[in-house]
Amino acid sequence: MKIALGIREFLPEKGGAERYCYDLMHFLAGKGIEVHIYSSAFPQKDSGLFFHQVPVIPRPKSLHVLSFAINCRRMMREERFDVIMGIGDTVHADLLQPHGGVHWKWFWRGLEGYRKPFPWIFKFMGRALSPKQWAKGFIEDAPYAKAKKVIAISEMVHRDISDYYGIPEDRMVTIYNGVDIERFHPRNRKYREETRGRYGLTPHDFVLLFVSHNFRLKGLRYLIQAFSLVRAKKNNVKLLIVGRDRKAPYHRLATRLDCADDVFFAGGVRDLERYYASADILVHPTFYDPCSLVVLEALASGLPVITTRRNGAGWIIHEGKEGFALDDPRDVKTMTEKIIYFSQADILKQASVAARRLAEQYSHERCYQEMLKFFSNIRRLSC
């Protein structure tokens, strides 16, 4: 079988979608499939795949995304493939798996993170008038009409695609992203004390973990508000924040709420599995996430998770068993109650075991085997 993937940047360190595609394509190549990658950026050293450099216009961003989509389509037409896969960067795909969910759903949900009218209007106008947003929306919309199969990465995204694009059910399937259940594992707790020690945390502290590079979209403001309420009732609770974003406004908020001494900003980290090991629960009150890899990694590490129904990964959680999925990320009262619920040692222990058991159902191997099956099915449809 000969397949092609179009992706703007085939760099695993870039983000969750890129890492997923990198691992999946190498898995398929290992099964004897001839894999061609069309991209504007590749790892310096790689093997087992065929790379095609797609020229792009670097600036502005709108022309960057458009030029990639157009040139990628032109170059792919020069060869014959059994299956062409797209993830939302290209205007054509036989097998479409949009990792960003529905662009216009993100457009509106992301605005809900702005509390005051003026910042909301300013951000809305910026997005509404942005050529980049319209270019991305156009590119995302284009492949749906002709794609033979659409793979949603969560039930939430499945519903959103069905509602927005009217794709019939016989052309859609849901395959959740997989997680590396060996890298993210409860046995990493052997690093717990050392990682906590970097921030002066003790073995007796109840540590909440937040992981994101977009603090506003992922609801950090509301987590800090909930944290301050929990802290008023439990003096051993701490908040550890991992990710690269502006910390100043959130540090000011924590100071205003008199909890800054117990809020720790770690910045970007490479040994993320050790940070999961250092924590007791993950809190991820996001406004929009197609299927948060952070949630799957936390579950695999044995952490109960508090997230929202606006996160596709939240839809796999059984309420009160492995965690909770809030209806609204701004519901500070309910978030506070759920955090306190997991501060009970016996409940936390049971939820930790349940979290790991749930994550084992969403391993990389399971996900990639399902994808391999669909590549084979699409090939038969193309013949």
Q: State how far the Cα of 170 lies from the Cα of 166, in Å rounded to an integer.
A: 12
Whether 232 has a pLDDT exceeding 90, the answer reads yes
- Per the rule left: phi > 0, alpha: psi between -120 and 50, beta: everything else, 258 is left
**Which residue is listed with tokens 């629960």?**
281
Same-domain check for residues 190 and 138: no
Same-domain check for residues 170 and 37: yes
Same-domain check for residues 338 and 212: yes
Same-domain check for residues 290 and 355: yes
Same-domain check for residues 38 and 155: yes
Where residue 322 sits, what CATH number does that domain have?
Answer: 3.40.50.2000
Whether 89 has a pLDDT exceeding 90, the answer reads no
Same-domain check for residues 137 and 223: no
Same-domain check for residues 213 and 137: no
Q: What is the pLDDT of residues 99-145, one digit of tens each?
A: 888 877 777 676 677 676 766 676 667 666 676 776 777 777 888 88
Q: What is the mean pLDDT of residues 69-95?
A: 91
Same-domain check for residues 352 and 378: no
Q: State how far the Cα of 151 lies from the Cα of 174, in Å rounded to an integer.
A: 6
Amino acid at 175: I
Same-domain check for residues 353 and 368: no
Same-domain check for residues 348 and 367: no
| Top-confidence range, 24-33, 336-345, 364-373 | 336-345
CA-based end-to-end distance of the chain: 12
Give the count of domains, the chain: 2
Same-domain check for residues 81 and 94: yes
Four-residue CA torsion sign, 283, 263, 223, 243:
negative
Is residue 255 within 8 Å of 286, Cβ to Cβ? no
Q: State how far the Cα of 312 lies from the Cα of 309, in Å rounded to an integer.
A: 7
Provide CB contacts within 8 A for 357, sequence distance 6+. none
Q: What is the pLDDT of residue 118?
A: 67
Same-domain check for residues 144 and 233: no
Domain assignment of residue 338, given as a range: 186-361
Q: What is the mean pLDDT of residues 284-312?
A: 97
**Which residue is listed with tokens 């973990």?**
209
